[in-house]
Amino acid sequence: MLSIVHLQAQTMARFEVSAGDYDRKDVFVHAPVQLTAACLENGLELFEVTDNGEYAVAFQLEEGKHPRLWWQVEGRLKQGSIRFFELRAGDKKSNDSATSIRKNDVSYILFNGFQPVLQYNHAKAALPDGVDTAYSRSGFIHPLYSPSGKILTMIQPPDHMHHYGLWNAWTRTQFKGKSVDFWNLGDKQGRVDYAGTISTIQGDVFQSLKTLQQHVAFNDKGGSDVALNEELEVRVFNAGRDLNRVDYISSFNCAQPEGLFLEEYRYGGFVFRGSEKWNGYTVQILTSEGRHQDNSDGHPAQWCMVNETGKQPSGILIMSHPANFNHPEPLRTWDRGSNGGLANIFINFCPIRNRSWEMVFGQRYTMQYRVVTFDGRWTKEQAEQEWVDFAHPPTVKVMQ
């Protein structure tokens, strides 16, 4: 809740947030800022300036080579309208936060306020008795929670032991003249693993975990070569009690001069494997193109949503960013008839479904997705609102 204040202090920057061509609701925005060390040491405060007064706004400074200020424009921002904000010298230190990222021997846990949103697993997963150790991997998200605490993902299902909640991997690739599959772990050609933590950020607007993941190809000598380095950022916004909002941003670069060639194939990329309670009878799928579980496979989509059909339902919305390779990305989904109608929900944004992709040494490739989990049932209009704010955010004009 914004609190009204009447203070005057040195103004460091002014911002105009313009809704543009769309209506907005509780949208997060960011803007570049240039601040001195003294400003950061002494503290800053952000205010929304209106005809009725000035209101303190929670904010977060993302430091680094190109610092950015983040905050939430609360409530409605109607099409064509503008709201005004000022960053001033104050006594609040950047990134003060009541929440934290918790780390243990197995995982990092990220929160929305005080509610857990997801668990990123940096240790290799334990396996059921008798399962080949090749099926264990690290660098995946499970559990992923709804706001009420329901677990929406599963790992190591008996029918696909190599599935891991929310994760990414490439299937048919060419590396150093050989075919390498980083997805099907049982084939023992390659894998993806956590290789280190780059940074963690905690603040009033979001928590962020950035890790290094390595896509490793096994060679004929019993060793392995890193084919692809991936900087993965998982960002969880403090979005309130009604929903959890997560950005999943992968930045790839080839580790070897030979590069990596991704062959056109029916699956590969960013994947969600739904709860063991989810199947063709207990949930309904809807895509941005109006397709459902039985006719979405192979078709492009900007977003894909799953709604539970029973009492006290929860759901998930997964969105692909317009800047992604081959956007809108083709989907790989399972129809309701799979496994007698009892197949769990599988959603794969697969940019290589109908198009090969050559990754060249020395270049960086970024794929960005947003995942929203919610309680209740969402409509297509609610999904579209989230999509617009993600894909076409408001314009922020900086006036120093």
Do residue 255 and residue 194 come from a single domain? yes
Under the banding of pLDDT at 50, 70 and 90, the label for residue 343 is: confident
Do residue 120 and residue 167 come from a single domain? yes
Do residue 171 and residue 243 come from a single domain? yes
Does some domain include residue 399?
no
DSSP string, 125-194: PP--TT--GGG---SEEEEEB-TT--B-B-B--TT-TT-BSEEEE--SEEETTEEE-SS-GGG-SEEEEE
Of 251, 232, 144, 247, nearest to 193 by C-alpha is 232
- What radius of gyration, in Å, describes the C-alpha atoms of the chain? 22
Does some domain include residue 398?
no
- High-pLDDT (> 90) share of the chain, %: 84
- What pLDDT score does 99 carry? 63
Do residue 362 and residue 293 come from a single domain? yes
Sheet holding 59-62, edge to edge: 24-32, 68-77, 59-62
DSSP string, 220-233: TTS-EEEEEEEEEE
Of 258, 275, 267, nearest to 219 by C-alpha is 258
Check pLDDT > 70 for residue 235: yes
Total domains in the fold of the chain: 2
DSSP string, 241-266: SSEEEEEEEEEEEESSTT-EEE---S
What average pLDDT does the segment 170-183 reach?
97
Structural domain harbouring 196: 102-391
Do residue 76 and residue 114 come from a single domain? no
Is the model more confident about 192 or about 93? 192
Do residue 278 and residue 154 come from a single domain? yes
Do residue 190 and residue 90 come from a single domain? no
Paired with 4 in beta bridges are 55
- High-pLDDT (> 70) share of the chain, %: 94
Whether the CB-CB separation of 290 and 196 falls below 8 Å is answered with no
Separation in Å, CA 335 to CA 118, 152, 344:
27, 19, 10
Does some domain include residue 46?
yes
Listed residues 59, 78, 94: the one ending a domain: 94
Check pLDDT > 60 for residue 116: yes
Does some domain include residue 397?
no
Do residue 173 and residue 283 come from a single domain? yes
Q: pTM of the prediction?
A: 0.94
Does some domain include residue 313?
yes
Do residue 131 and residue 157 come from a single domain? yes
Does some domain include residue 308?
yes
Does some domain include residue 396?
no
Listed residues 94, 126, 142: the one ending a domain: 94
Do residue 247 and residue 333 come from a single domain? yes
Do residue 28 and residue 167 come from a single domain? no
Does some domain include residue 338?
yes
List pLDDT tens digits, range 70-90: 999 999 999 999 999 999 988
Any residues with CB less than 8 A from the CB of 10 and at least 6 apart, and which? 88, 89
Listed residues 94, 129, 157: the one ending a domain: 94
CATH number of the domain to which 90 belongs = 2.60.40
What average pLDDT does the segment 60-67 reach?
87
- What pLDDT score does 8 carry? 55
Do residue 82 and residue 109 come from a single domain? no
- What pLDDT score does 94 carry? 53
Tell me: cis bond preceding 328? Omega within 30 of 0 counts: yes
CATH number of the domain to which 271 belongs = 2.70.98
